[in-house]
């Protein structure tokens, strides 16, 4: 069957930019985005992006080649006077597309932000060259026809005005949405726009990346005259995002990391105070760092204990951190400790216990938690005891044995074995961090070992409360300074 003249004209429009002047070019250092001007194309370069350009066929009902049928995509359609960019999750169409390009979409979420993002399930009905793994925040550029330039300028001015109003209302709606839907009051936290966060991190460049966790990446930034750490989380981490928001907007303490603000545009962002000296694990287990003096180790232990005491004893409801470890204790410029990462924190009523599926870090989880999923403040006490053993020995929570193979043993089990000996004193000397040399009071070390042993008792009823741990550490810190 022959095509109509209209179909032939549309096909010419669709493939007129096919091979002669591509909008994407793969280079040795990244991807060159070609921006069109009157003389042809000029490069628009984004470094550190590695993509592959290839052709894929999108079918109406069968999905697309190489991808399972029915696979959901996030699509964004930005209408212009004659052209539009269309992005799919993990894929971006590498051509200019006429605005009438056919789609088959069904809305599965009504969430939208000032950037106009909608979550849909889409199937593209044409064949296009696509580039894989383009970040969703890539800027879209298009050229308006010259005969419409006057209309375009007027339209652009109007859009800028409307955009400012939309951004302001979006920031307000972020605050209202979180308060109404999840009961999170954001009075002391700032609602940032995505544009502001992207600018502060140089579009989330690798040069500003300072950390990577299970739920997202952390970037250094300077926002409104203050140093900050921005955690960028994907939409699949919304549960952890809301958990941190609920805790850090309700509790404020010198030894808990401070939440500055948030953003829910496109991705999920949490903005914290910037802690200069990294985390405790880096200081204890990296030989690139100077060893912490014994008195500093005791102070950091006391600071961390005070933070935990606050969420266990002085908040309603009680908060159980569930992931206390040396990596989640941050060290500020004065070498004081702050508890961080409240992504899996649970709240319970005082004196109660809760049962759930155990999640956390192997080597730090209490026996009753791993076996039965029982949550109480005593599981944080156990994990804190493991951190005390780390402070004493400089070893990680899971220790590699010196025997054949790759056998490991828990640091707790190692110390329990030493303490079970008839005369453990001589053995304990061997398990003190060798980087300390002889520059430590052994009586202080012995007392801290006894406290760590009490914290890691098999029976949670035999473990001390964080309040009594703080008292013990205050006495130990005072004697160490003397």
- 129 classed as catalytic: no
Name the helix (H) or strand (E) containing 125.
none
Among 115, 99, 96, 107, smallest CA distance to 72 is for 107
| Token pair in block for residue 429 | 């000397």
> If DSSP codes are grouped into helix, strand and coil, which group holds residue 455?
helix
Question: CA nearest 387: which of 330, 452, 445?
Answer: 452
Task: Kindly report the backbone phi and psi dihedral angles of residue 338, in degrees, each rounded to the nearest multiple of 5, phi listed first.
Answer: -140, 130
CA 168-140-6 angle, 5° bins: 120
Identify the CA nearest to 218 among candidates 157, 227, 430: 227
Polymer length of the chain: 482
Determine the Cα–Cα distance for residues 439 and 430; give it in Å rounded to an integer.
Answer: 14
Burial of 248 (0-12, 13-18, 19+ CB in 10 A): buried
DSSP state of 199: H
| C-alpha torsion sign, points 244, 249, 251, 256 | positive
Q: What angle do CA 52, 57, 62 make, to 5 degrees?
A: 125
Query: Based on the number of CB atoms within 10 Å of its own CB, is 477 exposed (0-12), middle (13-18) or buried (19 or more)?
Result: middle
Compute the distance between CA of residue 92 and CA of residue 89 in angstroms, rounded to an integer: 8
> Does residue 317 have a cis peptide bond before it, meaning omega lies within 30 degrees of 0?
yes
Q: Which of 65, 129, 202, 323 is catalytic?
A: 323
Distances (CA, A) of 98 to 11, 82, 93, 354: 11, 6, 12, 56
Using DSSP's 3-state secondary structure scheme, residue 433 falls into: coil
Please give the annotated binding residues for ATP, written as ranges: 232
Task: Please name which of 293, 354, 271 lies closest in space to residue 319, comparing C-alpha atoms.
Answer: 354
Sign of the C-alpha dihedral, residues 219, 224, 227, 229? Answer: negative
Residue indicated by tokens 């801290």: 448
List, as residue ranges, the binding site. Answer: 232
Residues tagged active-site: 323
């Amino acid at each position: 069957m022959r095509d109509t003249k209209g179909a032939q004209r549309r096909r010419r429009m669709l493939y007129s930019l096919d091979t002669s002047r591509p909008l994407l070019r793969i280079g040795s250092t990244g991807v060159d985005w070609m921006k069109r001007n009157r003389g042809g194309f000029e490069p628009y370069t984004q470094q550190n992006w590695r993509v592959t350009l290839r052709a894929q066929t999108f079918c109406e009902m069968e999905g697309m080649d190489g991808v399972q049928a029915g696979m959901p995509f996030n699509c964004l359609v930005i209408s212009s006077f004659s052209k539009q960019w269309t992005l799919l999750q993990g894929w971006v169409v590498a051509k200019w597309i006429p605005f009438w390009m056919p789609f088959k979409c069904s809305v599965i979420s009504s969430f939208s932000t000032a950037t106009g993002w909608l979550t849909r399930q889409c199937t593209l009905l044409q064949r296009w060259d696509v580039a894989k793994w383009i970040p969703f925040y890539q800027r879209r550029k298009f050229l308006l026809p010259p005969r419409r330039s006057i209309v375009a300028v007027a339209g652009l001015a109007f859009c800028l005005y409307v955009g400012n109003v939309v951004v302001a209302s979006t920031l307000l709606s972020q605050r209202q949405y979180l308060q109404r839907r999840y009961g999170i009051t954001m009075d002391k936290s700032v609602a940032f726009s995505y544009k502001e966060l992207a600018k502060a991190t140089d579009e989330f460049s690798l040069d500003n990346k300072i950390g990577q966790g299970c739920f997202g990446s952390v970037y250094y930034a300077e926002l409104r005259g203050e140093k900050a750490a921005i955690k960028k989380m994907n939409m699949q981490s919304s549960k952890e995002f809301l958990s941190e928001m609920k805790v850090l907007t309700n509790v404020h303490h010198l030894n808990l990391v401070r939440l500055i603000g948030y953003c829910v545009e496109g991705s999920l962002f949490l903005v914290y105070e910037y802690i200069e000296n990294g985390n405790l694990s880096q200081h204890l287990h990296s030989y690139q760092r100077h060893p912490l003096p014994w008195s500093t180790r005791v102070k950091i232990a006391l600071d961390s204990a005070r933070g935990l005491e606050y969420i266990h004893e002085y908040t309603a409801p009680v908060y159980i951190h569930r992931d206390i470890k040396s990596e989640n204790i941050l060290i500020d410029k004065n070498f004081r400790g702050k508890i961080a990462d409240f992504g899996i924190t649970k709240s319970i009523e005082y004196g109660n216990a809760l049962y759930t599926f155990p999640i956390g870090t192997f080597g730090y989880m209490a026996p009753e938690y791993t076996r039965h999923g029982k949550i109480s403040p005593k599981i944080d006490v156990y994990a804190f005891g493991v951190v005390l053993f780390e402070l004493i020995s400089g070893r990680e929570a899971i220790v590699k044995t010196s025997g054949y193979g790759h056998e490991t043993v828990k640091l707790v089990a190692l110390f329990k074995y030493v303490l079970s000996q008839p005369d453990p004193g001589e053995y304990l000397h061997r398990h003190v961090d060798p980087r300390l040399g002889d520059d430590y009071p052994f009586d202080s070390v012995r007392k801290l070992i006894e406290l760590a042993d009490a914290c890691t008792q098999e029976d949670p009823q035999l473990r001390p409360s964080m309040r009594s741990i703080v008292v013990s550490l205050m006495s130990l810190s005072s004697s160490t300074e003397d």
